[in-house]
Amino acid sequence: MLLAVDVGNTQTVMGLYEDERLLAHWRVATDAADTGDELALRIHALFALEALGDAPVTDVAIASVVPPLTEQWRQLAARLATTPALIVDSGTDTGLPIAYGDPTEIGADRLADAVAAVELYGAPCIVVDFGTATNIEVIDRTGAFVGGVIAPGLATSAQALFDAAARLAKTSIDVPPRVIGASTREAVQSGLTFGEIDRIDGLVRRIVDELGYPATVIATGGLSARVTGLSRTIDTVNDDLTLEGLRIIHRRVRGRQGRG
């Protein structure tokens, strides 16, 4: 079995795969101070909740944007799995053509999203990943990663607003019943949710104009469910896209190693 791990700045998403079948899926808060032992306790507790017991983890694939946790996950993988962990980064041969100024700047999560999008939905495609940052990844009709957009995420924008405006009380990030807020709470929610999705739709339209042809738009990420229903450009939602990308990259890399 493969344990795929996407370590983000705010949340860590994990998935346990048996071949291509996702057996279990978890989303937990990321704590950059976690040790390998603390991560192990968390994993065992999650396995127990799903009645997985001592599920035989043979492989671990990791995408991490939190450097202190990358090594901790590597150490844990050495205890869990029977093979060394695959740490996906810009140097990994993912099979995805890269047409980008400096490929070392591309985060592992962006690579995984792009790989999964091309395999599952075909090229050209655009991925909108709603996380701490809202990332937009663009894959052209040749199947090459050509770049994208990085912007503050929905929760990040909300926190910045609440921190900067002393008289605005924190409110939940929910879609209000109308754009014209009938209260301060609704007005803030409108600005955050409708503002975010209109920003995404506007950027996607600009990207399509630059490409010169239409592309399938896939949304993913922990906050995608909050606003994707409002979008006029997003075609489908796949909350497991990054995990799927890790699974596909792992299959490709291990397959080449097996042939070697």
Measured distance CA(216)–CA(121) in Å, rounded: 7
Q: Are 62 and 88 in contact (CB under 8 A)?
A: yes
Q: Residue 113: what residue type?
A: D
Residue 14 · residue 39 · CB < 8 Å: no
CA proximity to 38, closest of 61, 68, 65: 68
| Helical H segments across the chain, by residue range | 36-49, 67-80, 108-121, 154-164, 184-211, 224-227, 241-259
Annotated catalytic, 163?
A: no
Catalytically annotated residue among 109, 113, 129, 140 = 109
Residues involved in catalysis = 109
